[in-house]
Amino acid sequence: MSQKNVLIYGVVSYLFFLGTMGYLILFIAELWVPWTVGSSISNDPWGDAGFNLFLVALFGVQHTLMARPSFKAWWNNHVPEHLERSHYVMMSSLVMLVLLILWRPMGTVLWHFENEIIVNTLWALFAFGWFLTVFSTFLTDHFDLFGLRQVYLHYVEKSYTDVVFSEHILYKLVRHPMMLGMLIGFWVTPYMTLGHLVLAFGFGVYILVGIYFEERTLLKRFGEDYQAYQDRTPKLFPRLKSD
């Protein structure tokens, strides 16, 4: 693949990711899109819940497996290193699209707040969660995380260098601010349907499992430095006061 086509592919992968994530947020919020997490009533709640959790597990396995160093070592024997991250982003977006298309809506309402103050507060927290998720990606290297930096460096014929982790801003408060934002985005809502609950539960489990494997990888890579970071910094929720 030519350098120009590599760059185009990286940009297309990134834009595809933005589209699927944008739809996912609206899908969860049940706003402005015709097919949502709870857009119809389920006639088989247990069967639909099981199938929907299978879809979440499919995404979780793909997303976690392809991020593991052992898989990357094998994958790089078949895929150029500068395209590895873009392929990962593309595959993750495709699996997420499958989840969105095949999802079986479960519209039974579990709670529905009507008080304007409560509703506005919960929507604000929902929006904050997704803002926190996106903002956290820029505290490391947003463009490296989604493969754009790699394809650009290949295009301009410069060598790739690893991004140096910097413990600053949110990463001083918690080790995984991006995951915290996602948990808030999945769980906080003034309008909770059974389908939304199943999705939030499934992704909540996936996030916790993903953190476990990521931290194992980081410990192997950084050793005592990351162990010390773990000791002084909470995993997900900031400490309310110093010890």
Domain ranges for the chain, please list them.
3-232
Please report the sign of the dihedral spanned by the C-alpha atoms of residue 219, residue 225, residue 230, residue 234: negative
- At 16 the pLDDT is 97
- At 68 the pLDDT is 83
Q: 141-183, pLDDT tens digit by residue?
A: 899 999 999 999 999 989 888 877 778 889 999 999 999 999 9
- At 241 the pLDDT is 65
Name the nearest CA neighbour of 80 among 26, 16, 22, 151: 151
Distance separating alpha carbons of residues 36 and 234, to the nearest angstrom: 34
Half-sphere exposure of 191 (CA within 13 A, CB side): 17
Angle at 57 between CA 52 and CA 60, to 5 degrees: 135
Kindly report the number of other CB atoms within 10 A of residue 99's CB atom: 20
> 63-77 as b/e, with b when 16 or more CB fall inside 10 Å?
bbebeeeeeeeebee
Percentages of the chain per state (helix, strand, coil), in multiples of 5: 70, 5, 30
Q: Which residue in the block uniquely carries the two structure tokens 């706003």?
A: 31
All residue ranges of the chain with pLDDT < 50 are: none
Distance separating alpha carbons of residues 178 and 211, to the nearest angstrom: 11
pTM as predicted: 0.91
Cα-trace Rg, the chain: 19
Residue 119 CA to its chain's centroid (Å): 25
